[in-house]
Structure 1
Amino acid sequence: MWAIKVKSFVILISLLWGSFGISAYAQSWPQKPIKFIVPFSAGGANDLMARAAAEGASKVLGQTIVVENKPGAGGSIGTVFVSKSAPDGYTFLISAAGVISNNMIKKTTNYKDSDLVPVVMIGLAPSVIVVSSESNYKNLRNFVDASKEGAGLHFATAGTGSTPHFVAELLNTRYGAKLIPVPYKSGSEGASAVMGGQVAGTSEASIVALPHIKPGGKFRALATTWTKRISVYPELSTAVEQGFPDLQIAHWAGIHAPVGVPPDIMDKLAAAVDVAMKSPQVSDRLKSQGIEPVGGTRASFNEFVDAERARLGAIVKAANMKDEQ
């Protein structure tokens, strides 16, 4: 009996010491530079949001945050790298919708959803549905109605599971549109195809689309697909306002951690990013580029990720979206 009591006491002390050690480690974090891994090329919406978050959060934490781009395989290369990283609080993923949808669509990704933990939302670049400035379509209703006639309309995407692909399939499955997805290697190639008249339209991140929508530009904007109008372009109505209440999708960026990072560290990083997104210096700069800063808490980002997983999963199933890769 005495031996059992001693053993139980030793186990209890070990557990308490382990908890104390983790807590002390989290309190002293960060003691060296932190890495934000962007799974896309530099210059895109995801990359710009990552750099804004890194700049603002580093000031709050008093430690350098390095942004490192690891593009390829639709974001999977960078995502796998972070999922296999040590959970010490010094390597994080700048996540996008693909971190949720890739495992729904791709045959193999080399990571499981459970390998990554949501930390905080950074912001989003609302998607904008665009056509050539020389087309006859004036709004989203015109475009969808026209697609229902004849063989349908070709719609450029950045590949299977990209945001434009989800926009097209959501309009097809929920509103009876007849949009034929045409995959390109990148959003910029798809945008060029719209400008050149090879396809009828596409959707693109606000930061990419807005410079081409100004008077004399080569795009005509039909609608933004987020729940609110774009701060820097309020004259463009939302798809919801035009009678498409289910069309709510954006190019968002958040932060995920490899599973095992202490919760206290994730809370500190989430709080730092939230402060950054609410600072006028960062917020005003992002809004001027068509990006909406969000921030928030770990809890609010977890709720967003859960809702996004359910919503995107329903579209994948309804449209039978599959990637041969």
Structure 2
Amino acid sequence: MTFNKRAALRLLAATAAWAALAAFGQGDYPSKPVQVVVAYPAGGGTDILARIVTRELDKAFGQSFIVINKPGASGVIGTAMVARAAPDGYTLLIDTGNVTLRPAIEPATPFKPKDFTPVALLTETPVALAVNASVPVTSVAELVAYSHANPGKINYASTGPGSPQNLVTELMKIKAGVDWQEIPYQGGGPALNDLNAGRVQLMFSNPVTLMPYANTHRLKVLAVTSRERLPALESVPTMAESGQPELDIGFWNGVVAPAGTPAPIVARLSDALLKIMKLPEVRAALLRQGSVLMPLGPEPFAHYMAEDTARWERVAKTIRYKPLQ
């Protein structure tokens, strides 16, 4: 190839790159409504977060950001749909950590972290350990001692193998040396109902969903898995304070796009989301949901996702998790 031909090709490539930046980087995006997929039913914690955030994105961009609920297979269906979507910025996913958790424990999951571009980490959601009021304990230490003295008397609720409740509880079983039996349910609502009724004795769940029951003294919330106490549950100690430092576990909530989404679009979205996370009304709403605010841009979010994948791989190995697929 002659020098002139190589120079012409370089010029052509540079022109195309600048054209792409001009198209995607300024006021042209978004020029139509943006789909924001939630891989869970309406009304849950992720859905609430998505609606808080998209309301502010509407204002920031003067364009509609529409929440699309695509539940099924513990979030796999909606997440896989976004992995296969066109990388043009018009399909986004607000995720609860499925992007990193599922492939780490289920190698046959139809997506991998590399199938997504990190846009912005928003929050972490810890889980809280609750027992039915009939269990004669008031702390994690007492629960562990009671479990040792009464083997086989504690059943715990989960939404099935590989669910957050299953993974966290099985990890605690190993760390605390206790013998609890799993009772799987089709969803968190039925599981919580049976915990409240005393048909199961123990459950890890979103702190906010537990509060109405705890306030009526039908449940006792013993600890949260966050690094620090939650403003919504200031009287409840952390797992570390309760003698279980290995149970410092949160499930991230953030925005990702299909891999290959142009960097200028990712930057525009990330900047807008990080500004939204500074709004007092947004911060207050998320804290009321029991969330830990953790706003991060694309690069630190990518590092976070890599660390989270490695963490769940370690958890799966520790609890000897057997993949379902």
Structure-2-length-normalised TM-score: 0.93
Supply the distance in 2 between the matched residues of 1:87 and 1:147 (Cα, whole angstroms): 51
Contact 1:116–1:259 (Cα < 8 Å) also in 2: yes
Q: How many residues align?
A: 322
Supply the distance in 1 between the matched residues of 2:130 and 2:287 (Cα, whole angstroms): 20
Give structure 1 stretches of 5+ with no counterpart.
none
The answer on 1:9 being equivalent to 2:10 is no
Contact 1:45–1:251 (Cα < 8 Å) also in 2: no
Q: Secondary structure at the match of 1:31?
A: coil
Report what 2:29 is aligned to: 29
Report what 1:157 is aligned to: 158
Out of 282-291 and 130-139, give the one that drifted further.
282-291
Give 2:100's aligned amino acid: I
Give the C-alpha shift of residue 107 in structure 1.
Answer: 6.0
Structure-1-length-normalised TM-score: 0.93
Contact 1:36–1:93 (Cα < 8 Å) also in 2: yes
Give 1:287's aligned amino acid: L
Report what 1:73 is aligned to: 73
Change (3 A) 1:264 1:174: farther
Out of 184-193 and 87-96, give the one that drifted further.
184-193
Supply the distance in 1 between the matched residues of 2:159 and 2:90 (Cα, whole angstroms): 31
Supply the distance in 2 between the matched residues of 1:87 and 1:291 (Cα, whole angstroms): 29
Report what 1:129 is aligned to: 129
Contact 2:105–2:313 (Cα < 8 Å) also in 1: no
Supply the distance in 2 between the matched residues of 1:191 and 1:242 (Cα, whole angstroms): 23
Q: Secondary structure at the match of 1:123?
A: strand
Out of 30-39 and 109-118, give the one that drifted further.
109-118
Give the C-alpha shift of residue 74 in structure 1.
Answer: 0.8
Contact 1:23–1:264 (Cα < 8 Å) also in 2: yes
Report what 2:289 is aligned to: 289
Give 2:228's aligned amino acid: K
The answer on 1:176 being equivalent to 2:177 is yes
Supply the distance in 1 between the matched residues of 2:5 and 2:281 (Cα, whole angstroms): 56
The answer on 1:308 being equivalent to 2:308 is yes
Q: Deviations over 1:50-97 (max 9, x none)?
A: 111111233223322110100000101101110110000110111122
Q: Secondary structure at the match of 1:255?
A: strand
The answer on 1:53 being equivalent to 2:53 is yes
Supply the distance in 1 between the matched residues of 2:68 and 2:80 (Cα, whole angstroms): 14
Supply the distance in 2 between the matched residues of 1:114 and 1:300 (Cα, whole angstroms): 15
Supply the distance in 2 between the matched residues of 1:275 and 1:5 (Cα, whole angstroms): 48
Contact 1:122–1:253 (Cα < 8 Å) also in 2: yes
Contact 1:57–1:275 (Cα < 8 Å) also in 2: no
- Percentage of pairs with the same residue: 28
Q: Secondary structure at the match of 1:324?
A: coil
